[in-house]
Structure 1
């Protein structure tokens, strides 16, 4: 009897030892991903599953002691007690996070901190699940020392998707080598309301341009393989129709029908899904009474069943709790969590929308285990596919070499150059001569580092940023006298010196006046829990320059502070004046358009903005940026986007209905002619193809770029369609005197509309192809016929 008991104990001991030695299936990198996901789900507790869906704020999760970095007690608590699955903005630095150049992380320290966070998650927890680290990166990684590119509205102005894809790949590398895995971007909202504070984050007002830029960004960020070590998951935002809030109020309600939703606001997202985007963020607004973060139609019916999206969805910061507190369609926090996850929202950005509230919803039987597993599986699947279970760490030595590398700095300069839009150049005042004797550089944005970087930018070493003043000084001859006078601030009126600006202009051969706006956050501003600024209309303390950026919605689009007075006083000197605009949204440019001979719009041009602007001012770069958004004459005209549905807009008593500058507009130092338009449609049983050919000639003596644009009008249709709609474009590089032939191919997707039965169809009839340099500068046009009806698909809403 004793022998048998002893043998039994030995067998039990041996079995336990063997079990410890056998690697669990989910840790076997040779096993199929789906098998690994299911094996891990089967081992997790409900609490661990709920925790996997929490992406909490990350900048308090590390601690810094001199040059040493490690994990904080708050992080250990979050991992041990809440089983969190990810962190957001761990490496972020700005006034909201209270992280500065002094207490934030340089690239090497950032990589070390990421490794320390991963080490605790993978080695000090029961299952060793690695973290997802998500970072903001719409125009560069929002971290100290990272390369700062032009904001998205400037990227859109390049009309150069290939360049934007190169930029996105550079951003991805900078995020990845510091330990990040997810990049928040691109923003695919259409900016049809310029009073809205986040116009700078978009590619403009048009779905076709936005689609191509968005696809370029997704492909650049994600690359060919997530296991490359230099690519990240792209999280596009905001889903859906966020950029047209009533009154311009950020996060406010919108008014759009489902036909307009499908035809204008959803195509950029659909294009990104087809390009393989792996993460999508919901928006704060509701559509037709249903909050986007609990909208089953958007998150499940459309995104997954109709479009076949394979990634995971994530809330915007606090938008799950907003189902309760903002939209009031839930009575309790657990009900809000249940509405979100049951609708198809997988991950919680903030960690307080799901977390204990989702656990309570599960315990109250508001959420099933099947639904919970579905969401957790979608997050885990990408952790496996990125290879994080095998390789959760990065080589901290690479970060300093690859972040803000010389190649990335040069790329930032190229994107900034291509984004500059020449709005006016009377009597060819530009380009300026480098041997000019005296230049006055004037204005609040002439030598202000942070005003040219835009929102979602971390503090940066001053040596990384080149201002307009510095760019001009580096460009002119040694004997040129450059005089700088700020003159005034963007908003504040307590520090004004217009007299000094006038004196400088009078003693100069030309005055370069740098005006506009700012999205530069400061440490005096109060911020909401979402990171948006709290804005008050009045106050006694000195005002910051910030008049744009998340939370800074406008009632007017006028230049603020004393900027208009400053410009008028300088112009009255009679000296030639060039205005350079640095800003995040269209502003009222009426007076300067009438009285200033040369205008350049540089948006927020990033760290190389000063060099890029100087390149254009002095002719080392021939500008070819085109407006991605129309510039109104007055807020009373809004909305003023070019592709509005018929009927055509009528004039007002005070003014006409046309914008000051239309979508697609931009000048060059070269001149271009269009000729030989040929439009050839061909039809088959299941398809239609229209080939549009034409020639573009550079008739000047200067090499230059031209952005050829093809617009389409459906002359008679069963439902109302736009007056015109961009369908194709191409940025061309044409030598002086040379000519290029351009060929665009239109397919059924370019000709289709949603009929009264909500079916995608191509209707027989007459279409007009319009080719030219902008939406209101059509050089060639030709009608063509489609003979047969073509049905593509139905829409279920």
Structure 2
């Protein structure tokens, strides 16, 4: 063993909780959730008085059939109707309802709960993923803003609206790090980077829960899905997951720890198996890791019908066996299956499940209700006047537009094609999404109404000085050609000075259950793009999508290319603001766009290989690449540009970083263009020699700075010593001493340096 390797083996050991929570914020894990604190006398008294059937009822969560929303999110399981549900509530067989909306129905249900023998209030939950009544951009789009403060503000606004509609709890945020764009639920999270996922997990939890969960506008957050859910084989929803424990700790657990550290009191177990044992039955995952290693003291909920699905997984013999496995693994609440109601009394009576384990779960649920203030005020968040006052307000719609604008990513802008002038150009908006409202919101839009959305045509027309110089033509359907559609589109393009091509995915092509074998453009839209490009008119592609796509042909090569995601109800206004330069494009990719679908899974921070291909010859024989493509992305993580350009100079990096220090990286940023703009400055590192192979590079800090033309400013990026840690070969978190590469980039400019950690 070399002296350097020996020294690395004896590096600075760092506690797992501290590392997972995230360096400077590690102390947050000392603030254990309320549910982990000593139970109140009231809760002890209730548990002592409860029958086993009433305990099972508190551990049972059901779809709200008293106030259903129009959207259907899950398969129909055990429907019962409103009257039967109210009877079950009065009998103490229901602890919580989910995916209902509206104060009037919630008050009716809560009154039924208070008439039960013990009068324990219900808690009302929902999948409020990116807006309640007012729909914001999908979380992946919002992640493109790289702005935790913006995400926190958005989450706070969503919580205020959702709680006004009679909700206490949301099954969000999704904190699954997603490296395979075939997986549909990429849309619901923050992309492929661990640091960004950590930052946004904490920000969204803080925003949803607010300063005090007992306030009427506090909305309980639920980081999900625990854990490794996004690493499914082949990107297939609900498929198997296998990974090393080191990969779990380094990549998939840190965002959960950040969310728990910010105060989240609940989590949802993954649908998938993990290492051959379904998460819902996986005691190592839900007890040893979640509660032991992460110190989580809150409530763990099964996903929808996931405990019954243990039978289909092949690990449970029948429903009673599935309920036994789930409760013993650490699932406190059964969602929708009804298994706990039907089988926990018998399992306890037979001795197959200890009463102490049931009591532990009940205590957590009751403590959660206490944390929400429901024992003091069962009708908190159930006020009709507040519902009317705080729903779809001008303020929340203004914020939704700001978030949408900040989410847009400009990937290419040859010869300054954008921004467009508001007069003097004939513009053709071509594509199935030009005048479309049905697909603005994307997946999981909960109580949103598509008719409230601003389509692209309306948003663009509102900013034009001469709307008569603007024509809209679909050209094709989303999946199928339209009779004569391409001919009409080509004629419209030829009569225009510039073409806006609005193409991409339908709203139901992303989200849960929407994995794709090929993440390319639907064939009908690709044919439309090729025909329009052949006219020779300059084309601005406006992509609508919930994942990174493998772009081809005329779409890939378009002179201007914008990622416009699923931006919610303010889509048209936000896109128009960017197109005409009312706002500068400031978004950056939170996921890498591949050269081809076959590269998946892929991420910018992939681990190195013993045979890397040289940059000058990425398909060099005998080196790491595919036969027909290099090992790189078309547009990697962090890609994006604005309407000006920036230069970097005078990079200053301290030569050594001690264990009690923060690396202060300084760089001079200059706006070298003619427009005011915002620079996105990012620092990546690489550990040169380690006991385990390391990512080729990994983001460790980022900052934004707004500069006028010609303005120069020093930007400081802070990297705490703990951010250099890895799970070493012996399974322990530590910073191994030695040399690190460091890159600082902004808008295509990049400078390199190095430093030593001690």
Structure 1-normalised TM-score? Answer: 0.85
Aligned mates of 1:637, 1:32 — CA distance in 2: 50
**Aligned match for 2:371, one of 359, 368, 385:** 385
- Is residue 2:586 matched to residue 1:624? yes
Name the larger-Rg structure: 1
- Is residue 2:302 matched to residue 1:315? yes
Q: Which residue of 2 aligns with 1:779?
A: 750
Aligned mates of 2:483, 2:160 — CA distance in 1: 42
- Is residue 2:683 matched to residue 1:707? no
> Structure 1 residues 300 and 483, CA, compared in 2 at 3 Å: closer, same or farther?
same
> Structure 1 residues 292 and 698, CA, compared in 2 at 3 Å: closer, same or farther?
same
> Structure 1 residues 395 and 35, CA, compared in 2 at 3 Å: closer, same or farther?
same
Q: Which residue of 1 aligns with 2:185?
A: 198
Task: Write out per-residue CA displacement over residues 497-531 of structure 1, whole angstroms, 9 at most, x where no aligned residue.
Answer: 11111111111121111000012xxxxxxxxxxxx
Aligned mates of 1:324, 1:365 — CA distance in 2: 21
Which stretch shows the higher mean deviation, 660-669 or 284-293?
A: 284-293
Task: Write out per-residue CA displacement over residues 369-407 of structure 1, whole angstroms, 9 at most, x where no aligned residue.
Answer: 110010011010121121112222222012122111111
Task: Write out per-residue CA displacement over residues 196-222 of structure 1, whole angstroms, 9 at most, x where no aligned residue.
Answer: 121111111111111111111000001
Q: Which residue of 2 aligns with 1:794?
A: none
Report the Cα offset of residue 612 of structure 1: 0.3
3-state SS of 1:446 partner: coil
3-state SS of 2:142 partner: helix
- Is residue 2:510 matched to residue 1:509? no
Task: Write out per-residue CA displacement over residues 540-591 of structure 1, whole angstroms, 9 at most, x where no aligned residue.
Answer: xxxxxx3323212111122114101111111111112111001111222232
Q: Which residue of 2 aligns with 1:346?
A: 332
> Structure 1 residues 720 and 599, CA, compared in 2 at 3 Å: closer, same or farther?
same
> Structure 1 residues 594 and 238, CA, compared in 2 at 3 Å: closer, same or farther?
closer
3-state SS of 1:596 partner: coil
**Aligned match for 1:118, one of 104, 110, 113:** 110
> Structure 1 residues 683 and 190, CA, compared in 2 at 3 Å: closer, same or farther?
closer
Q: Which residue of 1 aligns with 2:25?
A: none
Pairwise CA RMSD of aligned residues? 2.0
> Structure 1 residues 582 and 633, CA, compared in 2 at 3 Å: closer, same or farther?
same
With a CA cutoff of 8 Å and minimum separation of 6, indicate the structure with the bigger relative contact order.
Answer: 2
**Aligned match for 1:35, one of 41, 49, 52:** 41
Q: Which residue of 2 aligns with 1:465?
A: 453
**Aligned match for 1:573, one of 535, 553, 565:** 535
Which stretch shows the higher mean deviation, 406-415 or 723-732?
A: 723-732
Unaligned segments of structure 1, at least 5 residues: 1-30, 65-70, 92-109, 520-545, 788-797
Aligned mates of 1:128, 1:456 — CA distance in 2: 33
> Structure 1 residues 346 and 460, CA, compared in 2 at 3 Å: closer, same or farther?
closer
Which stretch shows the higher mean deviation, 592-601 or 367-376?
A: 592-601
- Is residue 2:432 matched to residue 1:444? yes
- What is the 5 A alignment of 1:18-97? 34-60=40-66, 72-81=82-91, 83-91=93-101
Q: Which residue of 2 aligns with 1:363?
A: 349
Report the Cα offset of residue 484 of structure 1: 0.9
Unaligned segments of structure 2, at least 5 residues: 1-36, 71-80, 614-623
- Is residue 2:713 matched to residue 1:740? yes
Task: Write out per-residue CA displacement over residues 313-345 of structure 1, whole angstroms, 9 at most, x where no aligned residue.
Answer: 1111111112222x2112222222122111211
**Aligned match for 1:677, one of 647, 651, 654:** 651
Q: Which residue of 1 aligns with 2:738?
A: 765
Aligned mates of 2:476, 2:487 — CA distance in 1: 11
Q: Which residue of 1 aligns with 2:12?
A: none
- Is residue 2:130 matched to residue 1:139? yes
Aligned mates of 2:69, 2:281 — CA distance in 1: 36
Aligned mates of 1:652, 1:406 — CA distance in 2: 51
> Structure 1 residues 632 and 308, CA, compared in 2 at 3 Å: closer, same or farther?
same
Which stretch shows the higher mean deviation, 419-428 or 492-501?
A: 492-501
Report if aligned partners of 1:282, 1:292 keep a CA contact under 8 Å in 2: yes
> Structure 1 residues 78 and 62, CA, compared in 2 at 3 Å: closer, same or farther?
farther
Q: Which residue of 2 aligns with 1:175?
A: 162
- What is the 5 A alignment of 1:144-159? 146-159=133-146
Structure 2-normalised TM-score? Answer: 0.89
Which stretch shows the higher mean deviation, 482-491 or 592-601?
A: 592-601
Report the Cα offset of residue 352 of structure 1: 2.3
Report if aligned partners of 2:67, 2:106 keep a CA contact under 8 Å in 1: no
Report if aligned partners of 1:299, 1:345 keep a CA contact under 8 Å in 2: yes
Report if aligned partners of 1:436, 1:476 keep a CA contact under 8 Å in 2: no
- Is residue 2:260 matched to residue 1:287? no
Aligned mates of 2:573, 2:353 — CA distance in 1: 56
> Structure 1 residues 58 and 125, CA, compared in 2 at 3 Å: closer, same or farther?
same
Aligned mates of 1:269, 1:509 — CA distance in 2: 50
3-state SS of 1:624 partner: coil
> Structure 1 residues 178 and 693, CA, compared in 2 at 3 Å: closer, same or farther?
same
- What is the 5 A alignment of 1:272-671? 272-325=259-312, 327-393=313-379, 394-458=382-446, 460-461=448-449, 464-478=452-466, 480-493=468-481, 497-519=485-507, 546-592=508-554, 595-647=557-609, 648=612, 650-671=624-645
Report the Cα offset of residue 227 of structure 1: 1.3
3-state SS of 2:40 partner: helix
Task: Write out per-residue CA displacement over residues 228-277 of structure 1, whole angstroms, 9 at most, x where no aligned residue.
Answer: 11111101111111112111110101221111111111111111111111
Q: Which residue of 2 aligns with 1:26?
A: none
> Structure 1 residues 296 and 662, CA, compared in 2 at 3 Å: closer, same or farther?
same
Report if aligned partners of 1:437, 1:479 keep a CA contact under 8 Å in 2: no
Report the Cα offset of residue 62 of structure 1: 6.8
> Structure 1 residues 459 and 378, CA, compared in 2 at 3 Å: closer, same or farther?
closer
3-state SS of 1:452 partner: coil
Aligned mates of 1:618, 1:772 — CA distance in 2: 27
Q: Which residue of 1 aligns with 2:616?
A: none
> Structure 1 residues 480 and 703, CA, compared in 2 at 3 Å: closer, same or farther?
farther
Report the Cα offset of residue 744 of structure 1: 2.2
Paired residue total: 698
- Is residue 2:121 matched to residue 1:130? yes
- Structure 1 runs of 4+ aligned residues shifted over 6 Å read none
Report if aligned partners of 2:240, 2:276 keep a CA contact under 8 Å in 1: no
Report if aligned partners of 2:68, 2:99 keep a CA contact under 8 Å in 1: no
> Structure 1 residues 766 and 396, CA, compared in 2 at 3 Å: closer, same or farther?
same
Aligned mates of 2:548, 2:326 — CA distance in 1: 36
Task: Write out per-residue CA displacement over residues 638-687 of structure 1, whole angstroms, 9 at most, x where no aligned residue.
Answer: 22211111114722332222111000000110111112211126655x63
**Aligned match for 1:731, one of 704, 712, 720:** 704
Which stretch shows the higher mean deviation, 568-577 or 156-165?
A: 568-577
Aligned mates of 2:531, 2:334 — CA distance in 1: 53
